Amino acid sequence: MSITERDKKYVAGTYNRFPVEIASGSGSVVYDTAGKRYIDLGSGIGVTAFGIADPLWQQAVTRQIGLVQHMSNLYYTGPCVDLAEMLCTRTGMSKVFFSNSGAEANECAIKVARKYQAEHKGPECSTIVTLKNSFHGRTLTTLAATGQDHYHELFTPLTPGFLSVDPDFTELPDPDRVAAILIECIQGEGGVIPLPQDTVRRIADYAAAHDILLMVDEVQTGNGRTGALYAYMNYGIHPDVVSTAKGLAGGLPLGATLLSEKVSGTLGFGDHGSTFGGNPVSCAAALSVLSRIDDSLLASVREKGQYLMDSFMDAPGVESVSGMGLMIGIKCRRNAGDVVREALSKGVLCLTAKDRVRLLPALNIPMDILKEAVDILKECIAG
Ligand SMILES: *Cc1c(COP(=O)(O)O)cnc(C)c1O
C-alpha cells in the first residue's frame, strides 16, 4: 500500500494532507521522496525557526540527548532553568511554566487568571474575554477561548466562562466578573490580521482600569516571527501573562507561559504540572533558538518582511497584503487553496489562513531563495 493509503487506513482523518511525502531538507529547502525540491515558506506552521536540520540547532539537541533526554520535574535540569532565566531576562517577565504546546501554554494562562482573580477579586470573577476570529488551540478549554463558532460545532459543552467580543473592542464588555482578556496581537489562523495600535491600547487600558489581567497569545507571533522578540513589544504594552510555543524550540514540542511579577506567585506546589514540560532536549533546542534571535536577526526579519510586502502589494492578482515581519497574509483574487496547490506543484510550500495565502518562512531564509520563491508565487497568484 502507498503511504497515502496507509495514512488513510491507520491515521485519524483530521488532516487534509497534500499528496507529498517530505523526506529530508536543509534550511529553507526540502525534498520529497521522489527527490523533488521545494522552497519552504511555511516552516511547519512557524515552527522551524532556523529551517530544517539546522546545524547549530542539531548540535544543541544531539549534545543534550547524549547527556540526559528526560528527567521528571521532581529533579532539577540545567536547560530548563537556563531557558526560564533567558526568557525572563529578555522580556522582563518574572517566572515561566513550561508545557509542550500552544494549547497547553494557553491552558496554563487561563488557570493562572482564574486562580489569581479567585484570590483577589473573588471566585465569581472568572470570565475570560477573548476576541472574535481568534484562535487559541484545540483542547476543550482553548476551543472555548477560540472566537470562531465553526471550531465548536459538535464538541459542546465546552468549558464555561468565556466571552468573545468584537475585535475592534469599541463595545467594552461589562468588566464585572472578568478575570482576564486574552488576545493575539496578530490573528494568525484568523487570516494574518494585525490588531491596530489604538485597539491594543484600548484593550490594555480597559484591563488596567478594572484590574483585569492582560494576556497575550504569542504562540504564532512569538520568538522573532514579527521582527520583535514577541509581537506585544511592537505595541508598547506590558502583558501580565504571555503564552508561546510553535517556533520556541525550532521544531521540538515546547510551550511556555511567561508570568509577570504581579502573577508570578499564583501557581504553587501541585497547582499545575506536566510530565514532559521543560524537557531538557526541548529546552536545549530553545536556548539555541533564542540565543540566535538577536537585534541583527530581528532587523533582517523586518527587512525580509518589508521585501515580501513590497513584492506582493501591487502584484497582479493581489487584493491586499497584511502582516508583520515574516508573518504575511496575501488576499488574492484567486482562491487561496488553488494558489497554494499550484505553488506546491511548482516547488513552493506555503499555507492558507481563512481566505488568504499565508507565509511563515524560516527567520533565516536566505534572500536569494526567498526571491526565487516570491517569483514562483507571484506567477501562481497572477493565475
Ligand atoms: C497554533 C496556535 C495555537 C495552538 O498551538 P498548538 O501547539 O497546536 O496547541 C494557539 N494559539 C495560536 C495563536 C496559534 O497560532
Pocket test for ligand 1, best of 136, 184, 195 (most atoms within 8 A of CB): 136
Distance CA 216, CA 380 (A): 35
Nearest CA residue ID for atom 8, ligand 1: 102
Ligand 1 center–CA 35 separation, angstroms:
31
Pocket of ligand 1 (CB under 6 A): 101-103, 106, 135-137, 184, 188-189, 217, 219-220, 245-246
- Ligand 1 centre to CA of 34 (Å) is 31
> Could you give phi then psi for residue 367, rounded to 5 degrees?
-60, -40
What is the residue with the minimal CA distance to atom 6 of ligand 1? Answer: 102
At 34, list the grid cell: 521522489
Q: In this structure, are residues 136 and 127 in contact, taking their beta carbons and an 8 Å threshold?
A: no
> Please, what is the end-to-end C-alpha distance for the chain in angstroms?
35
Q: What is the DSSP string of 282-341?
A: HHHHHHHHHHH--HHHHHHHHHHHHHHHHHHHTSTTEEEEEEETTEEEEEESS-HHHHHH
Q: How far is the CA of 253 from the centre of ligand 1 (A)?
A: 12
Q: What are the structural domains of the chain?
A: 3-53+294-382 (3.90.1150.10), 68-291 (3.40.640.10)
State yes or no: cis peptide before 167, omega within 30 of 0.
Answer: no
Quote the cell numbers at residue 229: 522578540
Pairing mode, strands 241-244 and 213-217? parallel
Question: What are the CA-CA distances from residue 325 to residues 262, 273, 358, 363 (Å)?
Answer: 30, 34, 12, 9
Closest CA to 41 of 335, 334, 323, 383: 323
Q: Distance from CA of residue 242 to its chain's centroid?
A: 11
Residue 280 Cα to ligand 1 midpoint, Å, equals 22
Contact in structure between 202 and 214 (CB atoms under 8 Å)? no
Q: Looking at the DSSP assignment, which residues form a beta bridge with residue 25?
A: 30
Q: How far is 218 from 246, CA to CA, in rounded Å? A: 9
d(CA 26, CA 52): 5
Nearest partner of 225 among 277, 188, 280, 270, judged by Cα: 188
Distance between Cα 102 and ligand 1 center (Å): 4
Which pLDDT value is given to residue 265?
Answer: 98
Mutate to test the pocket of ligand 1, among 219, 221, 244, 354 (most ligand atoms within 8 A of CB): 219
Write down the pLDDT at residue 91.
98
105 CA → ligand 1 middle, Å: 9
Q: What is the residue with the minimal CA distance to atom 15 of ligand 1?
A: 220
Query: By the 8 A CB rule, do 289 and 49 touch?
Result: yes
Cα(344)–Cα(326) distance, integer angstroms: 20
Tell me the three cell numbers of residue 282: 526541548
- Residue 172 pLDDT: 87
| Binned average pLDDT, 10 residues per bin, the chain of 383 residues | 96 97 98 98 98 98 98 98 98 98 98 98 96 98 97 96 96 93 98 98 97 98 98 98 98 98 98 98 98 98 98 97 98 98 98 98 98 98 95
Instruction: Read off φ and ψ for residue 256, nearest 5 degrees.
Output: -140, 135
The residue type at 356: R
Fill in the amino acid letter for 172: L
The reported pLDDT for the residue numbered 291 is: 98
C-alpha cell at 230: 514577541
Radius of gyration from C-alpha coordinates of the chain: 21
- Contact at 8 Å (CB) between 152 and 113? no
Q: Choose one of 14, 108, 133, 220 to mutate for the ligand 1 pocket test, by most ligand atoms within 8 angstroms of C-beta.
A: 220
Rounded distance, CA 363 to CA 51, Å? 8
- Joined together, the cell numbers standing for residue 45 give 506552521
Closest ligand 1 atom to 188 CA: 15
Alpha helices in the chain (DSSP H): 3-10, 43-46, 55-67, 78-91, 102-120, 140-145, 197-209, 280-292, 295-313, 336-345, 367-382
